[in-house]
Amino acid sequence: MTDTSYGTLDPALDAGHVDAPPRMGFFTDTSVCIGCKACEVACKEWNLVPTTGLDLLGMSYDNTGALTANSWRHVAFVETDTHWLMMSDVCKHCTRAACLDVCPTGSLFRTEFGTVVVQEDICNGCGYCIPACPYGVIDQRRDDGRAWKCTLCYDRIGAGMTPACAQACPTESIQYGQLDELRDRAQARVRKLQADGMSEARLYGHEPSDGVGGDGAFFLLLDEPEVYGLPPDPVVTTHDLPRMWRQAGLAALVMAAATVVAFLGGQR
């Protein structure tokens, strides 16, 4: 079932007066990615992302290198002994998002579509969200220090439009829609590929029981996640925070009690 426990911007939705919209996301089928980088260009053009990050890195045809504050889509090129693997990477919009847990200003928020967005006018550049992300997605711009990443084109989907990257993808490698429907579609696609002899086909980030509660942007891969530069078993980095706070609170109570006992003992 779709997780509708995420926050929303609409007070009417918070009050329960209106049904929450379905959770939206990306399914990226790397088996049909041709590495054209149309998604990178469309993302930059629509979101006014700076044109930096388009460099000759000497790494095959990869000119962005990684997801950064100035590259919200990164087309990875992996050269194997027999063939090329290509994948358009993006923020995963995690179900359990550590970046939300650590943001002290509320700059990062969960939209009514279940996506995670940074409000740049509220971000104070503290950088806490950067090490918190288990995927290494979030980055700061050197000129102002604020955090930036994919918004899943929040302005476009709010108007009923498709995110710019998915709209521009000529092979439908990047698919946008309701997360439940995308998961069903992805399972069917994997079964077909495996039936056609591609036993290495697998899904990544689609399982709600994984370490981040499932990704809002998940992938069909043709090799191990590590080959694409993805962590094999990502876990929300703030998983132990509740336990740590409980232990810290207990320790504080013990210290306070010991101080009181010592003070009273000194009064005698």
Question: Could you read off the pLDDT of 19-57 as tens digits, one per residue?
Answer: 678 999 999 999 999 999 999 999 999 999 998 756 666
Q: What is the pLDDT of residue 181?
A: 97
Q: Is the pLDDT of residue 9 over 50?
A: no
166-194 pLDDT per residue, tens: 999 999 999 999 999 999 999 999 999 99
Closest-CA residue to 75 (of 43, 50, 46, 45): 43
Q: Which residue has the higher pLDDT, 11 or 148?
A: 148
Q: What is the pLDDT of residue 252?
A: 57
Q: Is the pLDDT of residue 107 over 90?
A: yes
Give the residue carrying structure tokens 């942007």: 217
Q: Is the pLDDT of residue 1 over 60?
A: no
Alpha-carbon distances of 195 from 111, 131, 198, 201, 252, rounded to whole Å = 38, 40, 7, 10, 59
pTM over 0.85: no
Alpha-carbon distances of 150 from 23, 30, 57, 67, rounded to whole Å = 16, 19, 23, 9
